[in-house]
Amino acid sequence: MKQADPAESHSLAELCILVDLPVRTVRYYVQIGLVDRPEGETRAARYGARHVEQLLLIRKWTAAGLSLERIRALLDGGEPPVAARGPAPGSIEVRSHVRVADGVELVIEPGSAGLSPEQVRRFVKEVMALHARISKMNAS
């Protein structure tokens, strides 16, 4: 690891202000290997542009709901996450609404779920049977 340029390096406190993360979180990320270790140790440790970049990416991805394991894979060169897209304007979706009981409704989009009509019927039948078993257990 090359020597950090003092003009481009930051203390832990400065780094935390730059990336808007608590000291404890940054230390944890370094401890588990998501962020490179700083140059030096203890209070003399210095963090550079690479650390800022790593922490900003981690912050962005955790805000998007990615797990730390997935973030580790992304930082190691994995495929970037694909933003989920909703249905296109004007598209038509067929949904099945099944009333299982008072307050319990099942909504199925067979196309999105990748289910054939027969699989949907079987799924609904199994859900109804499971609900009946649970209701019977509660009544006992």
pLDDT at 83: 54
pLDDT in tens, the chain (140 residues): 444 445 578 999 999 999 999 999 999 999 999 999 998 877 788 999 999 999 998 998 888 888 898 888 888 876 665 555 666 677 777 788 899 999 899 998 877 777 788 888 899 999 999 999 998 988 87
Helix (H) / strand (E) containing 76 = none
CA gyration radius, the chain: 25
What are φ and ψ of residue 80, in 5° steps?
-65, 150
State the pTM of this model. Answer: 0.51
In this structure, what token pair is assigned to residue 87? 């249905």
For strands 96-101 and 104-108, give the pairing: antiparallel
The fold for domain 6-75 equals Multidrug-efflux Transporter Regulator; Chain: A; Domain 2 (1.10.1660)
In this structure, what token pair is assigned to residue 98? 């099944």
Domain ranges of the chain: 6-75, 96-139
pLDDT at 21: 93
Determine the Cα–Cα distance for residues 29 and 43; give it in Å rounded to an integer.
17
The residue count of the chain comes to 140
